Amino acid sequence: MDYSWSVWKTEQIGWIGTGVMGQSMAGHLIKAGGSLWVYNRTPEKAASLMKMGAKWVDSPKEMARECGLIFTMVGFPKDVEEVYWGENGIFAGVKPGTTLIDMTSTSPTLAQRIFIDAGRLGAQAIDAPVTGGDVGARNATLSILCGGKPEVVEQVRPVLEWMGKNIIYQGPAGSGQHAKIANQLVVAGTMIGVCEALVYAGKAGLNLDAVLASIRPGAAGCWTLDNLAPRIIQGNFEPGFYVDHFVKDLGLALSECEKMGITLPGLTLAHRLYREVQNQGMGNKGTHSLYKVLSNWKES
C-alpha cells in the first residue's frame, strides 16, 4: 500500500499533548488537511486547535477507538505510562492495525515497552522524539529521531514531513530515544558555553549584541547562539523547552550511562547546574535560564 499523505488524510488522526511544541506540530497536520482528534490533560490548551477544526475526545481510550494513527507528546515518563497503560489509556481501547507514535522525550526502555505491548494488541509503534525547540515546531523544521521497524517509519514519513525536515531512522525500538539523549548531551554542553560566554562578556563591559554579531558567523556558531542568546540579551526567559523537562532528560541520560557503565563528567555538571536552576524556582522557564544562575554562581 502506498502510504502517501493523500492516504493518511482519509484516516482519523489522534494527538495527545498540546504543550509548547505539540500545539504547533498538531496545527500543521490540521493545516495540511488532516482529520485530527485531540486530548490534553488541561483542555484549555487544546482550544486553539479546536478552533482550527480539531475534534475533542475525553480520554486516550476513546481516541484509540476512533483513530488509526495516534501521536503522543506529553511531559514525563509517568505521563507516558498513564496515557498508554492507564485505565482510560490508549491500550484500553486500541484497534488492531493502529499506528502509535510517541514523540515524548522519554527512556529507551519505556519506548521498547510501548513497542512490545502495541504488538501484542495487533498495533504497531515507533518512538520519534524531536529536536529543534519551539522555533522548529512553529516552522515545521524539526529533526525527528525514529526508532522501531523501518517499514513503519516509512509508512508514516509523509505525516512526519508536515512537522519536520530531517527525519532519520535510528534503529530498533528505543533507538530514537537513545539518539535524543545524545542530542541533549550536546545541547547541555553548548548551553553552558553560550551562557558562560555572555556572562564573561558582560562582566568585561562588552556590548553583548556586538559580541553576538561577531561570534555567530565563526567557529562558535550554533543553533543556541542563533535562537536563544538573543533571548538572553533581551531578558526573555520564557520556555522554548522547559527546564523541568530538561532536568528529566539529563536524569534519563545519567540512568542510561549507569546501565552502560560509562561516566560523562560534562553531563554530571550540567545536571547539577540545571537542578540549581530548578531550586531557584525557574523550572517552568526556558533552558537558557541557566544564564541567570551562572551570572551569580558561587562555588559551594
129-164 pLDDT, tens digit per residue, is 999 989 999 999 999 999 999 999 999 999 999 999
- The reported pLDDT for the residue numbered 24 is 96
Mean pLDDT, rounded, for 246-257: 96
Q: Please answer whether residues 131 and 179 qualify as being in contact, where contact means their C-beta atoms are separated by less than 8 angstroms.
A: no
What's the whole-number average pLDDT of the chain? Answer: 96
Q: What backbone phi and psi angles, to 5 degrees, belong to 197? A: -60, -40
Within the chain, which residue ranges are assigned CATH 3.40.50.720?
A: 5-171
Q: Summarize pLDDT for 41-79 with one digit per residue, the tens.
A: 999 999 999 999 999 999 999 999 999 999 999 999 999
Mean pLDDT, rounded, for 239-252: 95
Q: Please answer whether residues 12 and 67 qualify as being in contact, where contact means their C-beta atoms are separated by less than 8 angstroms.
A: yes
Mean pLDDT, rounded, for 263-284: 97
C-alpha cell at 91: 491500550
Residue 189 has pLDDT above 80, yes or no: yes
Residue 1 has pLDDT above 60, yes or no: no
Residue 298 has pLDDT above 50, yes or no: yes
Listed residue (156, 151, 178) closest to 167, CA to CA: 156
Band (20; pLDDT cuts 50, 70, 90): confident
What whole-number distance in Å separates Cα of residue 241 and Cα of residue 120?
A: 34
The CATH fold assigned to 178-294 is N-(1-d-carboxylethyl)-l-norvaline Dehydrogenase; domain 2 (1.10.1040)
CATH tag, 5-171: 3.40.50.720
Q: Which residues are catalytically annotated?
A: 180
Q: Summarize pLDDT for 279-297 with one digit per residue, the tens.
A: 999 999 999 999 999 998 6
Within the chain, which residue ranges are assigned CATH 1.10.1040.10?
A: 178-294
228's CB contacts (< 8 A; 6+ apart) are 191, 194, 240, 286, 287, 288
- The reported pLDDT for the residue numbered 300 is 46
- The reported pLDDT for the residue numbered 10 is 86
What whole-number distance in Å separates Cα of residue 193 and Cα of residue 227?
A: 14
